A and B are shown apart, each in its own frame.
Chain A
């Protein structure tokens, strides 16, 4: 079956860069996504990348896609305490598959 895998925890200091990694198995997805979930809230779409691209930058966020290795990463520059949340990688078209999420903790 198709799987999306992420490391479960990441801790960084305020002002540092955070890099969250994800691997996936299904190569048929048109887009790949990063979602953010804060406590008690629904998932918020952060950014997405078209499967034919290898990089996308959006303010403090940089998404890198290595389609050959089926590896997706999200880099958050100048990480702030407000970035503390769970980040989900997702792929798929109408039946999206999510990883288990990476809990990012930002220490002051």
Chain B
């Protein structure tokens, strides 16, 4: 297993465009998390899934943000009508879901909105 994979590594987009990021978790992990990290800050929780069920989404930053995990494997995070303030690193993590032994993070997708 190669760990948590995120694609793309970098994305530059024009303000107003939609973007979608993909995360492939560790295959035996049934929990998947999305976080956002801005410069000089720690990661900020956005949402998480247990298998295909999205169990917490109230912390998504606005209704422009949505996430899916249709078959309980990979997940996508979409940002519609991007704004310059959306520029950040978007991190995905996964965990086995038994106990709370921390997450395995991916390397992230760096979004720049110009």
A93's partner among B42, B93, B100 (CB-CB below 8 A) is B100
User: B102 near A48 (CB under 8 angstroms)?
Assistant: yes
Interface size of B in residues (CB-CB distance below 8 Å)? 25
B45's partner among A42, A44, A95 (CB-CB below 8 A) is A95
Q: What B residues does A101 contact at CB under 8 A?
A: 40-42
A100's partner among B4, B31, B42, B100 (CB-CB below 8 A) is B42
A94's partner among B41, B48, B105, B106 (CB-CB below 8 A) is B48
Q: What B residues does A35 contact at CB under 8 A?
A: 102, 105
Q: Is B104 on the interface with A (CB-CB < 8 A)?
A: yes
Q: What B residues does A96 contact at CB under 8 A?
A: 33, 43, 45, 103
User: B42 near A42 (CB under 8 angstroms)?
Assistant: no
Contact with A along B70-99 (1 / 0, CB 8 A): 000000000000000000000101000001
Interface residues of B (CB under 8 A from A): 4, 31, 33, 40-45, 48, 55-56, 59, 91, 93, 99-108
